[in-house]
Chains A and B, each alone.
Chain A
Amino acid sequence: MSSEIKVDTISEKTSANGVVIDGVTLKDSKIGGTITIPGSTGTMALTSDISAGGLTYVGGINQTSTAATISVNNVFTSAYDNYLVLYHSLTANGTQCQVNLRLRASGTDVSTGYVGGRFYASLGGTVSGFVATGTSSFYAMDQTTNGPDRSATVMQIYKPQLAMDTNYSAYGFSPWNDGTKYFQNCYGVLENDNQYDGFTIFADGTPGEEIAAKIAVYGYAKS
């Protein structure tokens, strides 16, 4: 038997605990009120949110010990076109280094065909400039032992899993070894029609310069 209640308003009138409807407690029907769902599992979402998508975590790593390179494999798939990568530096060996990104397929990095550059400016606006970033990788950020855990960058990688050029942009903030703090905006394209399923982040190549970082990769919903 089905039943239905049709009224204009249901007012929560209890003094303390609210109204329980099928295990869900409603307390104070106003902004700032409380909806309590019992247990620690389950999902709360609006139907419009689900259909529209948003950002979905697809992989990453919390690497607390340093290594020469950190790779994240099998995160670019047909499920998404574009990706967001959050890179938060944890520790760094070496005085200062430049951190770069290479795309990879089936565990092999690609080291040719990159075109890009970066704008940078120091906090306070006394220094600014633009430099090309070479053909062997995208530029991600500066990293030093001078507060490496204060360095972070946001990278966006466009359609890496499709057989066409892959675009890249990034912006971040990090201190240099003399204490100056820099904003950086980086842009580029990997000019070939290959498909990629992951990426590698690495310091500029000087032995002893290593990185540790928390990396999170998210896919942008297609719609």
Chain B
Amino acid sequence: MAVEDYIAEATTDVEAAKPIMKIEADGTDVTESELTDAEYTLRINDLAAYKNYIALEKYKDDRQRKYPSIPDQLDDIFHNGLDAWKATIQTTKDKYPKP
């Protein structure tokens, strides 16, 4: 899958969410208005990219956030051995499986 593969899905989501509003400040003037057609297109592209990230890349970030720190992992290996360390790491891998 690639970003382009999520355009249709993202278009449906954005269409369902309309109107999407934006805020613009210029000096003391603040205006609220609906996104322009070009901005809706950009929004769709952003959402497609985000969906692609969720599908293919997010598990890496999720795992990285949950793995123990390197010092804690070294301590785990020292005290409990490689098998215990691998079991600890596997817990996070199982929670956030690779697509």
Contact = CB atoms under 8 A, between A and B. Distances in A.
Interface of A: 59-61, 63, 67-74, 107-109, 111, 122, 125-129, 131, 134, 136, 176, 180, 202, 204-208, 215
Given A136-B45, A204-B50, A207-B47, A73 B25 contact: yes
A109 B45 CA distance: 13
B98 interface: no
B14, B24, B35, B47: most-surrounded residue (chain A CB, <10 A) = B24
Contact of B26 (A74, A122, A125): A74
Contact of A69 (B14, B16, B22, B72): B22
A107 B73 CA distance: 50
Interface string B3-22: 00000001001101100111
Contacts of B66: 127
A68 B35 contact: yes
B69 A136 contact: no
11 contacts: A67-B22, A67-B23, A67-B32, A69-B22, A69-B39, A71-B22, A72-B26, A73-B25, A111-B42, A127-B67, A206-B47
B26 A180 contact: no
Nearest to B24: A71
A112 to B, nearest CB: 10
Contacts of A176: 65
Contacts, number: 86
Nearest to A125: B69
B31 to A, nearest CB: 10
Contacts of A68: 20-22, 35, 43
Contacts of B32: 67
Interface residues of B, number: 33
Contacts of B38: 108
A59 B25 contact: yes
Given A127-B65, A136-B45, A176-B65, A205 B25 contact: no
Contacts of A128: 69
B49 interface: yes
A207 B12 CA distance: 11
Contacts of B35: 68-69
A220 B67 CA distance: 41
A17 to B, nearest CB: 40
A107 B49 CA distance: 23
Contact of B25 (A72, A180, A207): A72
B87 interface: no
A44 B13 CA distance: 55
Nearest to B10: A205
Interface in B39-75: 39, 42-43, 45-47, 49-50, 61, 64-69, 72
Contacts of B21: 67-68
A127 B24 contact: no
A111 B23 contact: no
A87 to B, nearest CB: 13
B99 interface: no
